[in-house]
Structure 1
């Protein structure tokens, strides 16, 4: 089954699959740095009164005669914590689809999505989009997407704006096209491009009112080619 909800869910899953290796690399690099810090010779503990290990007058420094070291607690690996949290959340989404006991729950989610109902796909899309956005904002990588170019940029069939973008995460066969909406002619606020349901000019089968427009890339390129 394919609906706008399914397309959004699949796009989010591939986007998350592309973001997770970046997070894993950061976690590995941080673990190596923490391990290197642990191997460093600890600094000698200094007296808060005398500042160093000498005798002073007839009284010795409170720490004289001790070879004391500062005990530094190991730093938290926040990237590893984020990676663990993401794994738990993805596993939770898989559990909603009754997928358990697998090593790659995200791959299983992608395999299961075509057989889910639109309402279930909508829930999966929302959870995966939230996780993908959270990770990408934290590690500083933009969504995998590019404007749909041409001698004249193609027009959105729904809102007529020339603001279509290709979501390029995952294999090319899974790429989708979304519309970033438009602005009022007088330069007013941004208007999101949302489906109006049955009869919407988007032309998508199973159109759902209020859902952000999305199309398979092959459909859009075919429509553009036909129009030319």
Structure 2
């Protein structure tokens, strides 16, 4: 992230926001690929030859204005060219970027530029903790919406043999969206920080917020390597 204005202390809210941003970026990239693939499919459909229909050849009109009975001859009729269908993935991608653009415009410290995701991501370190929490909710909602549409779940891997520093349960996952240095660790047992004196001992911990740690604060090199290998296989 760029430096720009003065950065605030990194809190749990900032870690959640950064993680949500990387997860959304991955989902957007997948959505963009689906949109590109759909363009090719739609183009192929419009190039298909019109179908030939066999239609009865009707007789001459009677004096009273009615039609004669169908004759034995059949006339070949071609169907009208098929109108290109809408690219629903492209529509979703455009709507998502529009919403992110609106969100980026609400951040006074956000940089200018055409990429709304980058404008938001670059701003996160300079946000107040409460603002970072609001941004997280927006990013998570957008990410969840896209992943539900494309049939993808969260990108994370169970850290086998690693226990939560706070609750001591072994429901600890490393979230693997984005570059490895951006990975974070969460406990899925829904344990939350107790604030001062919490066993999580996380730097920048916020009372009541779901525990989250930088990867390097919890995970050993061996565990990271195993999680990375699984993440690569699943991509």
Whether the TM-score (by the shorter chain) exceeds 0.5 is yes
Are 2:163 and 1:155 equivalent residues in the alignment?
A: yes
Are 2:46 and 1:43 equivalent residues in the alignment?
A: no
Q: Paired residue for 2:129?
A: 118
Q: Paired residue for 1:218?
A: 216
Q: Which runs of 4+ in 1 moved over 4 A?
A: 64-68
State the TM-score, normalizing by the size of structure 1.
Answer: 0.79
Q: Paired residue for 2:32?
A: 24
State the TM-score, normalizing by the size of structure 2.
Answer: 0.77
| Alpha-carbon distance in structure 1 between the residues aligned to 2:59 and 2:208 | 79
Are 2:197 and 1:203 equivalent residues in the alignment?
A: no
What are the Cα deviations for residues 97-120 of structure 1, in whole angstroms up to 9, with x where unaligned?
133751222122222111110011
Q: Paired residue for 1:55?
A: 58
| Alpha-carbon distance in structure 1 between the residues aligned to 2:121 and 2:50 | 49
Shift, 1:193, TM fit: 1.6
Unaligned runs of 5+ in 2: 1-8, 62-67, 224-235
Shift, 1:34, TM fit: 1.2
Q: Paired residue for 2:100?
A: 90
For residue 80 of structure 1, the aligned residue among 72, 75, 90 is 90
For residue 19 of structure 2, the aligned residue among 11, 18, 32 is 11
- What's the C-alpha RMSD, in Å, of the aligned pairs? 2.6
| Alpha-carbon distance in structure 1 between the residues aligned to 2:112 and 2:84 | 32
| Alpha-carbon distance in structure 1 between the residues aligned to 2:194 and 2:69 | 83
Aligned residues: 204
Unaligned runs of 5+ in 1: 182-191
Contact 1:179 1:213 in 2 (8 A): yes
